[in-house]
Amino acid sequence: MNYPDSVRFLYSLGNERKTVKFGLERIRTVLDALGNPHRLTKFVHVAGTNGKGSTCAMIESALRAKGSLTGLYTSPHLLSPTERIRIAGAEVSEERFAGAFRCVHEKAEELLESGAIDYHPTYFETVTAMAFLLFAEARVDIAVLEVGLGGRLDATNVVEPALAVITPVEFDHEGYLGTSLASIAAEKAGILKAGVPAVFARQRPEALEVLTARAAELGVEVAGSASAEDVELHARGSRFKVEGVQVECPLAGEHQVENALSAVAALRCLRVPDAAIEAGIRGVRWPGRLEWISEAPEIVADGAHNPSGARALAAYIGRFYANRRVRLIYGTMRDKAVEEIAGTLFTRAHEVILTAPKQPRSLRPEALRDSTDHPRVRIAADLAAALDMVRDAPPEDVVFIAGSLFLVAEALELRAAGDAADKGPGGQSRST
């Protein structure tokens, strides 16, 4: 089975959220049949609501700067499933991805035939097993592993990590994790293991109470994030000091300072030298989060898919774009807290253009319009149409694309297509 076939089969398993099957029995059975590759790698396991991916990326980048052969497993992907599994900072090749898929899929079919498992592993379970195989095959020194959903029953929670990290716990996926911060925190706390040290980002009191209680039950030594000093925020990142480390973070937004503080605390627990911490965070890249799609006109894409993400984006706009006219292109999924997000984010925009990502679960912009009383709202059939609506905006205006990482992915695809169109034969720029 080649790469396109493997991707088609993975997608045939259904949407990751819609078809989620909580529980570890199936993934453990599959991994046991594969020789338990997850036991051959040292892991940093990261859970939380927002900031998981950014924190993982910073930790991995600093470990790589130290000289370690690293693995990184994150989700979701933006453009290609290969983005989810990275070794030494590079996403795995399509050939290696397909090879790992064949191994997991064939073993799953054998287990189904024998009755050892009830269903084929889900999309997320399958790719998680593939990551474990590829990390073991590459003999990585250490891999950073992002939880997919929750923690306690997430497929990644089969590992015995060297360190657990929990980023801020907020409201999201309440249908799966519960409707209170305490219940959500309890699911995130499920990644804690007896005797394994942990790092907790700054938390709301309700969440912190649950996390610290669980850590005490397990005898977990917890390190908190230290405070940042001499913080300098700018539109493209931040600069600050923490416990003698001079951090220059190229990821934009005040919330990324908090993520960087968690990363520094984790790296200190892993005994990474300060020079590697500084170099790693300085060189980190995490696409799709306050990422510039275009400079002229200025277009910025950011997921902002839940209330906490919306608050972070609204704060960013208020800090750096208060004196400029903002046009917001927004599209989201049906299972999101749309009214709360709209109340937080739409007030920052001069104009809101509602659209829908090209996904079955997307919320129709007509229905979305009922969630806002913004005085200037337009509807676009898709992102391309929305961008056409702002094409003639004055150069001093700024456009934000937000609401869903699916929509951000479409923006990146359109940028890639535009870049390709601007290239002449052999990939040379037409302007050269």
The predicted model gives 302-313 an average pLDDT of 88
CA neighbours closer than 13 Å in the CB half-sphere of residue 44: 34
H/E element, 234: strand 229-234
Minimum mean pLDDT range among 291-295, 339-343, 418-422: 418-422
Per the prediction, the chain carries an average pLDDT of 91
Confidence (pLDDT) at 389: 95
- Residues contacting residue 79 through CB under 8 Å, at least 6 positions apart: 409, 412, 413, 416
166-198 pLDDT, tens digit each: 999 987 655 556 568 999 999 999 999 999 999
Q: Shortest CA distance to 409 belongs to which of 301, 324, 337?
A: 301
User: What is the distance between the alpha carbons of residues 403 and 6, in angstroms, rounded to a whole number?
Assistant: 29
Q: Which fold has domain 3-282?
A: UDP-N-acetylmuramoyl-L-alanine:D-glutamate ligase (3.40.1190)
pLDDT of residue 188: 95
Q: What does the pLDDT read at residue 388?
A: 95
- pLDDT digits 0-9 by tens, 336-355: 788 888 899 999 999 999 99
What local confidence, expressed as pLDDT, does residue 19 receive?
46
Asked whether the beta carbons of 397 and 297 are under 8 A apart, the reply is: yes
Map out the domains of the chain as residue ranges.
3-282, 291-421
Nearest-angstrom CA–CA distance, 322 and 313: 12
Q: Is residue 297 scored above 60 in pLDDT? A: yes
pLDDT given for residue 430 in this prediction: 39
Position with higher pLDDT, 224 vs 230: 230
Among residues 145, 126, 142, 130, the alpha carbon closest in space to that of 57 is found at: 145
The predicted-structure confidence for 352-395, as pLDDT tens digits, reads as follows 999 999 988 889 999 888 888 999 999 999 999 999 999 888 98
Using alpha carbons, select from 22, 77, 66, 17 the residue that is nearest to residue 44: 66
Which structure tokens are listed for 157?
């929670």
pLDDT of 418 over the 60 cut = yes
Give mean pLDDT, residues 51-72: 97
- For residue 242, the cross-strand partners are 245
Which of 380, 311, 364, 381 minimizes the C-alpha distance to 341?
311
CA–CA dist 95, 238 (Å, integer): 38
- The pLDDT score that the predictor gives to residue 156 is 97
Pairing of strands 377-379, 351-354: parallel
| Total-model pTM | 0.91
pLDDT at 20: 52
Does the domain at 291-421 match CATH 2.60.40.10? Answer given as: no
- Contact in structure between 66 and 60 (CB atoms under 8 Å): no
Contact 55, 165 (CB under 8 A): yes
- When mean pLDDT is compared across 38-42, 233-237, 247-251, 302-306, the lowest value belongs to 302-306
pLDDT band at residue 18 using 50, 70 and 90 as cut-offs: very low
- Angle among Cα 95, 99, 105 to the nearest 5 degrees reads 140
C-alpha to C-alpha distances, 267 to 63, 168, 184, 198, nearest whole angstrom: 8, 18, 26, 11
Query: Do 167 and 49 form a contact (C-beta atoms < 8 A)?
Result: yes
Residue 4: asked if its preceding bond is cis (omega within 30°), the reply is no
* The predicted structure's pLDDT at residue 416: 74
Query: Is residue 398 very low, low, confident or very high in pLDDT (cuts 50, 70, 90)?
Result: very high
Ranges 179-188, 239-248, 265-274, 378-387: which has the least confidence:
179-188
Q: Which residue has the higher pLDDT, 21 or 25?
A: 25
Give dist(CA 339, CA 218) in Å, integer.
39
Percent of the chain beyond pLDDT 90? Answer: 77
If one compares 334 and 355, the residue with the highest pLDDT of the two is 355
Structure-token pair, residue 370: 């009922």
Q: Is the pLDDT of residue 26 over 50?
A: yes
Calculate the CA 372 to chain-centre distance.
Answer: 27
- So what's the pLDDT on residue 359? 86
The H-or-E segment that residue 308 falls in is helix 307-320
Query: What is the C-alpha to C-alpha distance for residues 284 and 103, in angstroms, rounded to an integer?
Result: 32
* Confidence at residue 371, expressed as pLDDT on a 0 to 100 scale: 80
Residue 369 pLDDT: 87
